[in-house]
């Protein structure tokens, strides 16, 4: 059965109407730089130049990452004076979380136990 929150166009949200599809959200989250940017924005809104500061890449490259995040609905940007500011938008992450919780019926895997199991199994061969 299909999740009623998801259709071909995207995810319906009571607060915002329509937000981008899960494909866009997960594609944006696939990059470690974009995940780091989201973690930074958890603290507070930031100017683009402040977002770029910890990374060893050009401002243009950071701007491309920010555009992907904005297209996925994960952040919004606004101009304040001469600076562009970025703000975390939680609805897209919330929708992805709701979708992932559908898989919660599976027992979580303890990776440490799994690693020990593999080490024992490989040492026997």
Residue 1 maps to a domain? no
For residues 121 and 125, what is the distance between their CA atoms, to the nearest angstrom? 7
pLDDT of residue 112: 79
pLDDT exceeds cutoff 70 at 26: yes
pLDDT exceeds cutoff 60 at 4: no
pLDDT of residue 6: 44
Residue 21 maps to a domain? yes
For residues 55 and 77, what is the distance between their CA atoms, to the nearest angstrom? 19
For residues 41 and 62, what is the distance between their CA atoms, to the nearest angstrom? 14
Tell me how many domains the chain contains: 1
Residue 2 maps to a domain? no
Over residues 80-101, the pLDDT tens digits come to 999 999 999 988 888 888 888 8
pTM metric for this prediction: 0.68
pLDDT exceeds cutoff 90 at 18: no
């Amino acid at each position: 059965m299909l999740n009623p929150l998801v259709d071909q166009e995207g995810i319906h949200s009571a607060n915002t109407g329509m937000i981008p599809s899960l494909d866009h959200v997960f594609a944006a989250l696939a990059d470690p730089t974009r995940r780091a940017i989201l973690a930074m924005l958890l603290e507070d809104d930031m100017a683009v130049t402040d977002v770029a500061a910890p990374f060893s890449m050009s401002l243009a490259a950071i701007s491309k990452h920010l555009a992907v995040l904005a297209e996925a609905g994960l952040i919004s940007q606004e101009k304040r004076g001469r600076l562009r500011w970025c703000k975390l938008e939680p609805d897209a992450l919330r929708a992805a979380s709701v979708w992932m919780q559908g898989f919660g019926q599976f027992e979580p895997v303890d990776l440490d136990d799994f690693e020990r199991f593999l080490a024992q199994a490989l040492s026997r061969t």
